[in-house]
Structure 1
């Protein structure tokens, strides 16, 4: 069995940390749960708001449900800090719910990677703000 690797690999410098953040943003904006899940270890651990998610299968289920509810989803991530095998990001995303209400979600994520560049831990703190369509930025 081939060893999975997701470049760039830790330890991160500013350039590789920024690249890792952009790759994550691009993957999440694809809204493809299977594609996104491949960036995580098979036993990844997440805290997303008040939910605890463990393993790729739960990641796929979580993201599938998320993107079924969050229409016209668009995300922007920004590097906040990095060291060795960890990256912290700030982010915002916008979406519309089934009733047509727009939201902007703000938050921070702390990421920890294994030696093969797969994310083994993701801790996300997120707040939602209802917005009018004319207030959209993304």
Structure 2
């Protein structure tokens, strides 16, 4: 038997990903309702979302915090959305084009879509 520690309410469809940031102070949730929520654990009511990010036209499938700017979040849309969006997580504001959205490289070799990617801790190598 498991005990429920906390319940967060915001999404109207399935939650498809969670990600902590800032040593567990903030929690991101992404769902099939095309929404991303930022939950701030240090607030008086941590089960109330801090920001609701809603510019994706389909489910957001990827979330990544910027390693050199702590209030910058990148979100990647699903195959139907086909977009990468940047957000200021302190204000919840969508940033139009950061910095220029010019493709730096194209990774080839996969015969179907790539669902996840990670950067090594030293920033020298990416892993699919």
- TM-score range for the pair, normalised by the shorter chain length: 0.3 to 0.5
Higher strand content, 1 or 2? 1
Structure with higher RCO (Cα < 8 A, 6+ apart) = 1
Q: Which structure shows the higher helix fraction?
A: 1
Could you state the TM-score of these two structures normalised by the residue count of structure 1? 0.35
Q: TM-score, normalised by structure 2?
A: 0.37
